[in-house]
Amino acid sequence: MIPIRALAALAALLLCCPALAAPAQPPAVLPLPPDWYPESVAVGSDGSFYVGSWRQGAVARLRPGADETEDWRPEVLVPPGSNGLANGQGVLVDGQAGRLWVCSGSMGFTTVPMTPSALKAYDLTTGAPRGSWPMPDSGYCNDLAQDGRGTLYVTDSLHPRVLRLRPGATALEVWKDDPALGGGEGGYFLNGIAVTADGLYVSAVAAVPYILRVDIEAGGAAGPVTRIPAPRILRNVDAIRADGPGRLVLFESNAFGTDGPYGGAVTLARVADGRIAALETVVGGLNDASSGVVAGGRVWFIESKYGLLLAHKGDDAAVPRGVPFDLQSRALPE
C-alpha cells in the first residue's frame, strides 16, 4: 500500500508541474505543407511529429501550440537542401541526444540539388545541421532504426546490407552484408527497418511474401538472417514499426505494384513461431503509404503520391503544383 503522505506529495507535484501532463491529443488528420511528397514520419516524446519531404529535401514539424488556434500547424524545421539534404527518406527522433536523423537519397525529382546519399543529423529543437555521414560504396540510405545503446542501423537499397553508426563514430560501418538480405529485384534490395526485443526486422523493396529478421548478438554483432514468411505477397513494405511483442505494423506502399495508385495499405502483422501468422488491414486504398508511426494507440500514416512525380520524369515543369498532403491516423486493433 502506498502511504497517504506519498499520495499527497504526488498529487501536489502533478498540480504544480503541468509539464508532466500527457501530450495534447492531435486531431485524426493533420495537414502538411503543399507539394510535400512525404516519405517518412517520426514522433518525439512530447507528441510532436516530424515528416520528411522527398521532393523538397526538408523536414516539417507538427506540435502542440500555445492555444487551439496554433495547435499542430506544420512548420519547416529543416529548410530545403539544408546540410545537403536531397530526397528526404527515413526520419528518426533521438530525444536523448537531441538529434533528428534523416536519410538523404539521390533519386532526383526534387526542388533542391542532388547530393550523394548520406545519413544526416540535425538539432532536434532548432533544425540546425549537426553532421553528415556518407554512404560507403555508393550505397543508398533508405530507412533507419535505433537500439537501446543509441546505435543507429541503416538499410541500403543498393546493396544487400545493413549499416550502423555507433555513438561517437565518425563513419558508417557495414554491420551485416548477406545475399540472404533480398534478391535485388530491379537492382534494389532493402527498404524498411525496425529494432525489437527479438531482433532487427527489415523489408525488401520488391513485393515478396516475407520480411527478414537479423539477430542481434549480446555484444551487438549481427547474427543469422531469418526469412519470416507471410500468408500472402506483401505489396512493397516501405516501412516497419514495432507495436509490442509479436506485433509489427507494415506500410505497404504498392510502389511497384499493379493495383493502381490506390493499392497501398497499412497492415498489422502478428508474428508467432517464426512466421507472420495473420495479417489485418488497418486501412487500405492508399496512394503510396510509404511510412508512419505508432503513437497513443493509433497508427499515423502518410500518402506519398509519388506517381505524380514519376509520371513526369525529366519534365519538372509538368509536375502538378499545390498538391495537398496530410498525416492521417486510425485506431490500431487489439
Complete DSSP assignment for 114-171: ----EEEEEETTT--EEEEEEPGGG--EEEEEE-TTS-EEEEETTTTEEEEE-TT-SS
Strands 74-78 and 222-234: unpaired
Q: Tell me the three cell numbers of residue 51.
A: 515528416
Work out the number of other CB atoms within 10 angstroms of the CB of residue 88: 30
Please, which residues have CB within 8 angstroms of residue 258's CB and are 6 or more apart in sequence? none
pLDDT value, residue 3: 44
pLDDT value, residue 23: 55
For domain 38-331, give the CATH superfamily: TolB, C-terminal domain (2.120.10.30)
Report the candidate in 175, 158, 157 with the shortest Cα–Cα distance to residue 166: 175
Rounded to the nearest 5 percent, the helix, strand and coil shares of the chain are 10, 45, 45
pLDDT value, residue 17: 40
pLDDT value, residue 66: 62
Using CA atoms, how far residue 83 sits from 113, 129, 151, in Å, is: 11, 6, 22
- 95 DSSP β-pair partners: none
Q: Are 209 and 234 in contact (CB under 8 A)?
A: yes
| C-alpha span between 132 and 117 (Å, rounded) | 10
Low pLDDT (below 70) residues in the chain: 1-24, 66-70, 258-259
User: Which of left, alpha, beta for 255 (phi over 0: left; psi -120 to 50: alpha)?
Assistant: alpha
Torsion angle, alpha carbons of 59, 253, 302, 141, to 10: -20
Q: Tell me the three cell numbers of residue 175.
A: 554491420
Using CA atoms, how far residue 118 sits from 130, 166, 218, in Å, is: 13, 15, 28
pLDDT value, residue 85: 98
Work out the number of other CB atoms within 10 angstroms of the CB of residue 172: 21
| C-alpha span between 286 and 254 (Å, rounded) | 9
Q: Supply the pTM of this predicted model.
A: 0.91
